[in-house]
């Protein structure tokens, strides 16, 4: 799909709810709007096909092709004009008007929507220079005379038309100088896998609240759930526009636990980089934006150690190694599956596939009653997959510095590392909610004292 731009790199779109008839305008890339999309033949808004019409020097989209219909004329693959009764519709950067010849104001261009999303993210969150591990803040990017300006680079419509998008997260742009501008999207996401109702939802709310308030998280949240509706309390209202839901079918505890790894099937995940998973019983206790930048600087999966082990443990994949491979030389590593972070889906897709396959294999064996439930769980299989198959593709040192596992009721003793994990007991949230809620209240009073000494 493509978005529509004019020669000054303004994007055709609309604001508000899409009605039967809606006025469209041209917006700057950093404005808040919904872009008009096209497949090169038809035009769409919110996945519905529509037609152009004109009335009183305004352009509208509507589902019916009537009321002064506008003709669309495509030229090649990436250009088109709009006309009515032989006259071209022109846009001078301020308003629409009619013209009887075709110049630069009368031509509109198609830009790949995934390229547009990467550029729009750059204006919102900044971006990384591929290969240099350099973060460029959004304030360093500007519009100058219809072009995007960064450092000595000037990027116009022609540059974007010739750009090449990679995996939805990177964009190679030919520019007026060498080397080519190779940017990587910085659009952070935290996702949860939360199934069922009751106090697990309450724990989820406290975790997300702490992420935004104490963690000062700048990205979005996605909740993978089996619930048609999740209702949060009033304190969450300022953050609801940044929370997305992915409803999925889940029938038992195995489905619940495997869902955190089957994210390669979720199309929306491709829009984000980097991506962090959090258990619902993790509370954020300080600004954690630094770890997202560290995740952008490596292709490895960042995980945290809960224990230093000197022998095999069924909780950390040991049974799998000794039964399936007899590879006793593999060092046991106590990785907790409640938190991990990675650059993007493509960078760790082989790991995710392997963990899922390992869990499914263990589930088949369990059904034959040769194994217990433990070997089918997410944590043993994550440890097994990493240590046995991807020993060079994960890192325990970076993330472990930010996480305290086994947090308990002595709140003043909980280190302010970033993430406090109140883990303990498989799926047992009833005994933990009061503790988690108490810690959030403790942090609220602590931060209030800091702001008002």
Concatenated DSSP letters of 385-419: HHHHH-TTSEESHHHHTTEEES--S-GGGS--SSE
Class of residue 416 by CB neighbours under 10 A (exposed 0-12, middle 13-18, buried 19+): exposed
From first to last of its 453 residues, the chain has per-residue pLDDT tens of 899 988 888 898 888 777 777 888 888 888 889 899 988 888 888 888 888 887 777 888 887 766 667 888 888 778 888 888 878 888 776 777 787 778 878 888 899 998 889 988 988 899 998 777 789 898 898 887 778 888 778 888 888 888 888 877 888 988 766 667 888 999 999 999 998 888 889 999 999 999 999 999 999 999 999 988 899 999 999 999 999 999 988 777 788 888 899 999 898 998 899 999 999 999 999 999 999 999 999 999 999 998 766 656 666 666 665 555 555 555 567 889 999 999 999 999 999 999 998 888 777 666 555 555 556 677 888 888 888 889 899 999 999 999 999 898 899 999 999 999 998 766 555 668 899 999 999 999 988 766 555
pLDDT of residue 395: 95
H or E stretch covering 223: strand 220-225
If you compute the radius of gyration of the chain from its CA atoms, what whole number of angstroms results?
26
Query: What are the extents of the domains in the chain?
Result: 2-112, 114-185, 189-448
Write out the E strands in 85-188.
87-91, 96-99, 108-112, 127-129, 134-136, 141-144, 147-150, 153-155, 164-166, 170-173, 181-185
Backbone phi, then psi, for 140, in 5-degree steps? -85, 0
Alpha-carbon distance of 258 to 360, in angstroms, equals: 9
Phi and psi torsions of 239, nearest 5°: -110, -5
pLDDT in tens, 408-428: 889 999 999 999 999 876 655
Beta strand segments in 33-84, E: 34-35, 37-38, 43-45, 48-55, 58-62, 71-75, 79-84
| Rounded Cα distance, 212 and 285, in Å | 10
- Report the residue count for the chain: 453
Tell me the pLDDT tens digit for each residue of 189-217: 999 999 888 888 999 999 999 999 999 99
Coil, strand, or helix at residue 420?
strand
SS3 246: strand
Q: What is the pLDDT of residue 97?
A: 79
pTM of the predicted structure, to 2 decimals: 0.86
pLDDT at 340: 97
Which backbone phi and psi does 204 adopt, to 5 degrees? -60, -45
Residue 40 is predicted with a pLDDT of 84
Token code pair at residue 312: 């095999």
pLDDT reported for residue 31? 87
Pick the CATH number of 2-112 from 1.20.950.20, 3.40.190.10, 2.60.120.260, 2.80.10.50: 2.80.10.50
CA–CA gap between residue 183 and residue 187 (Å, rounded) = 12
Q: Which class for 187: exposed (0-12), middle (13-18), buried (19 or more C-beta within 10 A)?
A: buried
Query: Quick one: three-class SS letters along 79-100?
Result: EEEEEECCEEEEECCCCEEEEC
Cα-Cα-Cα-Cα dihedral of 103, 104, 105, 108, to 10°? Answer: 110
Asked if residue 136 lies in contact with residue 182, where contact means CB atoms within 8 angstroms, the answer is: no
Question: What fold is seen in the domain 189-448?
Answer: Spore Coat Polysaccharide Biosynthesis Protein SpsA; Chain A (3.90.550)
Cα→Cα distances 341→147, 269, 294, 308, 419, Å: 35, 13, 10, 20, 13
pLDDT value, residue 134: 85
């Amino acid at each position: 799909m493509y978005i529509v731009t004019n020669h000054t790199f303004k994007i055709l779109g609309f604001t508000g709810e899409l009605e039967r008839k809606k006025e469209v305008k041209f917006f700057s890339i950093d404005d808040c709007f919904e872009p008009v999309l096209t497949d090169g033949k038809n035009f769409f808004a919110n996945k519905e096909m529509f037609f152009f019409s004109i009335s009183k020097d305004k352009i509208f989209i509507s589902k019916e092709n009537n009321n002064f219909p506008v003709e669309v004329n495509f030229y090649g693959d990436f250009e088109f004009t709009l006309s009515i009764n032989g006259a071209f519709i022109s846009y001078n950067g301020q308003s629409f008007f009619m013209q009887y010849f075709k110049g630069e104001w009368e031509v509109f261009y198609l830009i790949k929507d995934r390229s547009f999303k990467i550029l729009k993210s750059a204006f919102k969150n900044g971006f990384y220079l591929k290969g240099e591990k350099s973060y460029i803040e959004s304030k360093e990017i500007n519009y100058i005379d219809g072009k995007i300006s960064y450092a000595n680079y000037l990027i116009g419509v022609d540059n974007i038309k010739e750009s090449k998008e990679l995996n939805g997260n990177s964009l190679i742009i030919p520019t007026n100088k060498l080397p080519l501008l190779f940017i990587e999207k910085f659009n952070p996401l935290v996702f949860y896998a939360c199934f069922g109702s009751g106090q697990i939802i309450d724990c989820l709310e406290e975790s997300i609240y702490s992420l935004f308030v104490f963690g000062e998280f700048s990205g979005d949240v996605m909740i993978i759930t089996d619930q048609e509706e999740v209702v949060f309390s009033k304190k969450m209202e300022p953050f609801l526009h940044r929370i997305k839901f992915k409803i999925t079918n889940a029938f038992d505890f195995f489905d619940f636990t495997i869902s955190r790894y089957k994210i390669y099937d979720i199309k929306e995940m491709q829009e984000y980089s980097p991506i962090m998973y959090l258990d619902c019983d993790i509370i954020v206790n300080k600004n954690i934006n630094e770890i997202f930048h560290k995740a952008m600087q490596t292709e490895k999966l960042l995980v945290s150690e809960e224990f230093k082990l000197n022998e095999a443990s069924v909780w950390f994949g040991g049974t799998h190694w000794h039964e399936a491979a007899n590879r006793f030389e593999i060092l046991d590593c106590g990785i907790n599956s409640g938190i991990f972070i990675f650059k993007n889906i493509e960078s760790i897709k082989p790991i995710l596939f392997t963990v899922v396959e390992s869990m499914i294999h263990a589930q088949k064996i369990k059904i034959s009653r040769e194994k217990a439930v433990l070997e089918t769980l997410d944590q043993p299989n994550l440890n097994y997959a990493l240590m046995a198959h991807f020993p060079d593709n994960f890192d325990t040192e970076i993330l472990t510095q930010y996480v305290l596992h086994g947090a308990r009721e002595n709140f003043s003793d909980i280190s302010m590392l970033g993430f406090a994990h109140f883990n303990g007991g498989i799926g047992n949230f009833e005994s933990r909610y009061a503790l988690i809620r108490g810690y959030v209240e403790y942090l609220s009073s602590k931060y209030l004292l800091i702001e008002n000494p």
